[in-house]
Amino acid sequence: MYGDELDERIIELLSGDGRISNREIARRLPLTEAAVSTRIRRLREQDVAHVVAVADLFAMGFDLLVSIEIEVAGRPTREVADDLTDLPSVLACCVISGRHDLMILVAARDHVDLGRFMTEHLDGVAGVRRVTPSLFLELVKYQTGWTPFPS
């Protein structure tokens, strides 16, 4: 079962450097290389940890991040959400509470790209009643190696 301090340390080390070897993890912890391998395999099987590549949107030329809150009418919110997840440039889609029903996070290369997304893609989704976009002016934190365990 997941949850001991060694599992937490393994996840911390992998979060800091996803290419760290099992040998190096074993060197830093009181474990053998085989034990590290077994623990990582168990964490993956339990869906506690995943090995992924994270794209740097800014390095790829996406200069704009936009949060768009959406009011839904005439269709179930979840159906609209499912349609939104299929749109290009949508990084996240969340069902939310409050004044709006959904929030999407969109990456765009520039204002022309954003305008194209809004008019050619978002406007075509049935059930989208009103949109409220918020342009990110300054990205204060963009964390890709998040771990729930403090260092």
CATH number for the domain including 95?
3.30.70.920
Q: What is the mean pLDDT of each run of 10 residues along the chain (151 residues)?
A: 81 86 95 94 88 76 92 97 95 95 95 95 95 89 66 51
**Residue count of the chain:** 151
CA distance 143 to 108: 19
Residues 6+ apart with CB under 8 A from 116: none
Residue 59 lies in a domain: no
Domain that holds residue 33: 5-45
Please check whether residues 117 and 78 belong to one and the same domain: yes
Q: Give the total number of structural domains in the chain.
A: 2
Q: What is the pLDDT of residue 150?
A: 58
pTM: 0.69
CA distance 109 to 62: 4
> Residue 82 is encoded by which pair of tokens?
């499912």
Please check whether residues 36 and 71 belong to one and the same domain: no
Q: What is the pLDDT of residue 4?
A: 86
Q: What is the pLDDT of residue 39?
A: 93
Please check whether residues 90 and 124 belong to one and the same domain: yes
Residue 142 lies in a domain: no
CATH code for position 16: 1.10.10
